[in-house]
A = this chain, B = another copy of it.
């Protein structure tokens, strides 16, 4: 097995570049950091380009490296460099970005979460993880939303990208497709005049839009929804974190929760 100890190594430079959107788009791959994600990717049949691990981690994992996948032993220094953190677990994989694309007409199957300019990577990842737990079919990331395969998003998703569809899309097209299929699409607003989320019957097929941390969802989308929902605030907080609001709405709206 090749052993890599220098951050100047060409492969290391290429892996480190996957922290940027440009790097991921050029390579059509992204990085998984940690054993849990690597195992989830194996289970999901993801296309592996490489598995990299420190000496200790590789000793444990080597028997599980999928057939034909190049494995590299890396130094602790290299592990920190490609992780971009000081305390990585020490096992990584480079896997293909998902190739499957969905036409908005696919929206007739299941519940879909639409993200309108959600900027914080932790919020995006947590929303995807929560949509998975709530049994949603997929998450559509509209323009201006943090990239689904950025390191902090991948960390917060905790492998949920292998369980439901995570894709980029034009939210106006998705909202239009929901309407064409006579399916409800709910917006979310910090507006006491909007409809309380408690007054919506749970169902299995719908769209839910959550919007930007500061500005909320765009006015243009809010005009096109079936209803815009409000979570009544009892205390003096001015708002809820968008991932919390999304979690409350998803678990309330999706039948079965």
Q: Please state if B244 and A130 are interface contacts (CB–CB under 8 Å).
A: yes
Q: Please state if B237 and A126 are interface contacts (CB–CB under 8 Å).
A: no
Q: Which one, A61-69, A143-151, A246-254, is touching chain B? A: A246-254
- A:71-118 near B, CB below 8 Å: none
Residue on B nearest A111 in the bound complex, by CB: B234
Counting chain B CB atoms within 10 Å of each CB, which of A132, A135, A236, A257 scores highest? A236
Tell me whether A129 is interfacial, beta carbon within 8 Å.
yes
How many A residues touch B, CB cutoff 8 Å?
A: 36
Tell me whether A133 is interfacial, beta carbon within 8 Å.
yes
Tell me whether A235 is interfacial, beta carbon within 8 Å.
yes
Copies in the complex: 2
Chain B nearest CB: distance from A243 CB in Å? 6
Pairs across A and B, CB under 8 Å, 25 listed: A126-B244, A129-B237, A129-B240, A130-B241, A130-B244, A131-B235, A132-B237, A133-B231, A133-B237, A133-B240, A134-B235, A135-B235, A158-B237, A158-B238, A160-B237, A163-B235, A163-B237, A164-B235, A198-B257, A231-B257, A234-B254, A243-B244, A244-B244, A244-B247, A248-B251
